[in-house]
Amino acid sequence: MNSPELAQKRLVEIISRCNKPSVLRKVLFSFFLLVFLFAIYAFITQLVKGQIVTGMRDYVVWGIYDVNFIFFIGISYAGAMISGILHLLHVEWRKPIIRIAEMITVISVIIGPVFILVEMGRLDRIFNIFTHGRIQSPILWDVVAITTYLSCSILFLYLALIKDYALFRDNTELKIPKWQRYFYRKFAATYSGLPEQKKLLERALTIMSAIIIPLAVLVHSVLAWIFGMTIRPGWHSTIFAPYFVIAAVYSGTAVLIIAMWIFRKFYHLEEYITEKHFKYIGTILLVLAALYGYFTFSEYLTVWYGSQSWELEVIYKLFDFTDYGAWFYLAAFIGVLVPMLFVGLPFLRNINTIMIGSVVAVVCMWIKRYLIIIPTLETPLLPLQDVRPEYVHYSATWVEWSLTAGGMATFCLFFMIFMKFMPIIPIADISEAPENKEFISEKL
């Protein structure tokens, strides 16, 4: 069977499997939609009453909105780094999972910045950034970096989709609504598998993956610099940018594993997303966990040993069990060791444990971002005096939690909507002959 026929066959099989009516999916969709709508309600409450409804006050000026922002931008590394690097290295087994990775990237880069908008006191003046923008401010670097990153990720995702859209366009078996066919025809952009077209597309994808990797590094570095450029303890650190980048790839990889597990399970894609994928990506996760642990150790050891009093105040808030101790040890040890052990020890290593390890990693990375932002803001240089007691400690309110839940729900909603328009497995790609003959033995 030659590859276009095989591709069409697989297309019909996968699409019909994914579009099979399912009660669970409908229930989940409505649930996510409800959470999303409730978040909209919370946001309107905040708009009407002002940010007094949040837990943020004069000292802790950034709350979990910022945590979510860093978290989502971190997740976006799945597509950028994993898919980009594997593409450049021509790793053959990457093919079935790159679509999921790139979808994670685009969706999270759309959701992340929304939290920054929500956190702004005057959303109505957002355009001042363009009319009065000052390039000295790291916030402007962030705006430039994230908009570039988002457009490049969308382009990267789209370029990889062209072949699949051509498949849809040429398909006669599937029942596709007229408007959707029109959409596929337009977006397939006259691709018909000619050798020149293939070569051009391949080159474009290589260029995009070469662009998107440094771009992703830059985005998270700029994000780290928003904190690093201030002279606050716990933030003003030279390793903050690489630390953030490593943390981001770590959480991105973990989310990719979770997504792979879910899609494999619910759409029965065992044939395409195999145990080997989990083991390979799991190994990457293990290396990243080790790197992340190393950065954490290095960061806190130097600060603690140096013992400047302002720095120590934050450090002891993190180390002390009566304060943030439990959370800190959870994020710094459990969040690193559990994924490492689950992937590293052969008798523990299987698809489910790797997935559990990833969940632990993702949760701990969210906590870690919380621990970066809040304890530092709760520790000003001058003592916390002459303030109302409610200003001293931060605790997020229902508005903030609803918006956080709304962000997560929107992430899932976007996935469900995106799936309607793009196959979750790059069908055209996996049906092609391997790029590199050496990898044929892997049978992917």
CB of 143 to another protein, least distance (A): 8
Q: Of the two residues 169 and 317, which places its CB atom closer to another protein in the complex? A: 317
Closest approach of another protein to the CB of residue 400, in Å = 13
**What is the per-residue burial (b if ≥16 Cβ within 10 Å, else e) of 345-382?**
eeeebebebbbbbbbbbbbbbbbbbbbbbbbbbbbbee
Q: Rounded CA gap, 71 and 299, in Å?
A: 20
Within positions 315 to 354, which residues make up the interface with another protein, using CB under 8 A? 316-317, 320
Q: Rule CB under 8 A: say whether 232 interacts with another protein.
A: yes
Of positions 91, 129, 155, 287, contacts another protein by CB under 8 A: 129
Q: How far apart are CA 1 and CA 346, in angstroms?
A: 38
Among the listed residues 96, 112, 138, 407, the single contact to another protein using CB under 8 A: 138
If you write DSSP's letter for every residue of 362-390 in order, what string do you get? HHHHHHHHHHHHHHHHT--SS-S-SS-GG
The yes or no reply on residue 51 touching another protein (CB under 8 A) is yes
Q: Output the smallest distance, CB 399 to another protein, in A.
A: 12
* C-beta closer to another protein: residue 53 or 330: 53
Site for another protein (CB under 8 A): which residue of 190, 192, 230, 238?
230
Q: Using an 8 Å Cβ cutoff, are 277 and 93 in contact?
A: yes
CA separation for the pair 249, 74 (Å, rounded):
7
| 441 is an interface residue for another protein by CB under 8 A | no
Closest CB to another protein among residues 143, 205 = 143
What part of residues 238-297 is at the interface with another protein (CB under 8 A)?
none
Q: Which residue matches tokens 């996968």?
A: 14
Binding mask of the shown chain, residues 376 to 415, with x at each position contacting another protein by CB under 8 A:
-x--xxxxxxxxxx-xx-----------------------
* Residues sharing a CB contact under 8 Å with residue 22, sequence separation 6 or more, in sequence order: none
Interface pick for another protein out of 52, 194, 210, 348 (rule CB under 8 A): 52
Tokens of 327: 């959370």
Helix axes 138-170, 3-18, angle to 10 degrees: 110
Beta carbons within 10 angstroms of residue 432's beta carbon:
17
Which residues in this chain contact another protein in the complex, by CB under 8 A? 49-52, 56-59, 61-62, 116, 119-122, 125-126, 128-129, 132-134, 136-140, 143, 226, 229-232, 307, 309, 312-313, 316-317, 320, 377, 380-389, 391-392
